[in-house]
């Protein structure tokens, strides 16, 4: 079904808005995927903050022109699903995880930070831990020296307590003997 001029302009403005907010765009060919599988992919994407769109490639090229995703213009051929995400790794993770279980979804490439990514680049981006995990790891690293110092001080305090408790016992035993 063909879109009229105003509908095309609306699609272009919507996709331009998505591209302006997004950090990552992943392109994947969806030829042969069932409607049920595509629905699962859309549901997973939505729950992870990823916007999944099936667009006409000419409209997508116009929408991303002038943005950091323009580097993907050469890959925009055939039936593609466009995955935009504000989180740097969410789109790559959702598409790569789905592609592991569904061989008909073929990752074509992606872009992050104005640089084009090949299939391996998208998979590497997908393997990066989430922001929450990275923050937890960073916090653990920052707390490690402090917690080690606290354990050492607690051990020293415990040794002093043992020495102080033993000292009066020895003194009182000497007093009884004398």
What are the domain boundaries of the chain? 5-128, 130-178
Q: What is the mean pLDDT of residues 55-61?
A: 89
Contact 71, 114 (CB under 8 A): yes
pLDDT-derived band of residue 94, with 50, 70 and 90 as boundaries?
very high
Decide: helix, strand or coil at residue 84. strand
Query: Per-residue pLDDT for 40 more than 90?
Result: yes
Contact 109, 42 (CB under 8 A): no
Query: Per-residue pLDDT for 16 more than 80?
Result: yes
- Report which DSSP code applies to 173: H
Query: Per-residue pLDDT for 72 more than 90?
Result: no
Distance of CA 21 to the CA centre of its chain: 16
pLDDT of residue 176: 52
| 5-128 is classed CATH 3.30.565.10 | no
**pTM of the predicted model over 0.85:** no
pLDDT-derived band of residue 11, with 50, 70 and 90 as boundaries?
confident
């Amino acid at each position: 079904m063909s879109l009229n001029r105003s509908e095309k302009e609306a699609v272009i403005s919507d996709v331009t808005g998505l591209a302006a907010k997004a950090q990552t765009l992943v392109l994947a060919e969806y030829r042969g995927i069932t409607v049920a599988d595509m629905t699962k992919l859309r549901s997973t994407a939505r729950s992870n903050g990823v916007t999944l769109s099936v667009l006409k490639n000419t409209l997508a090229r116009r929408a991303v022109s002038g943005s950091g995703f323009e580097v993907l213009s050469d890959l925009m051929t055939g039936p593609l699903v466009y995955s935009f995400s504000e989180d740097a790794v969410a789109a790559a993770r959702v598409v790569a995880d789905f592609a592991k279980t569904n061989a008909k979804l073929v990752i074509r490439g992606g872009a992050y930070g104005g640089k084009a990514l090949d299939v391996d680049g998208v998979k590497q981006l997908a393997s990066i831990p989430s922001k929450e995990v990275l923050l937890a790891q960073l916090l653990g690293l920052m707390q490690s020296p402090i917690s080690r110092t606290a354990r050492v001080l607690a051990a020293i305090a415990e040794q002093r307590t043992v020495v102080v408790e033993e000292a009066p016992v020895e003194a009182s035993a000497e007093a009884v003997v004398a």
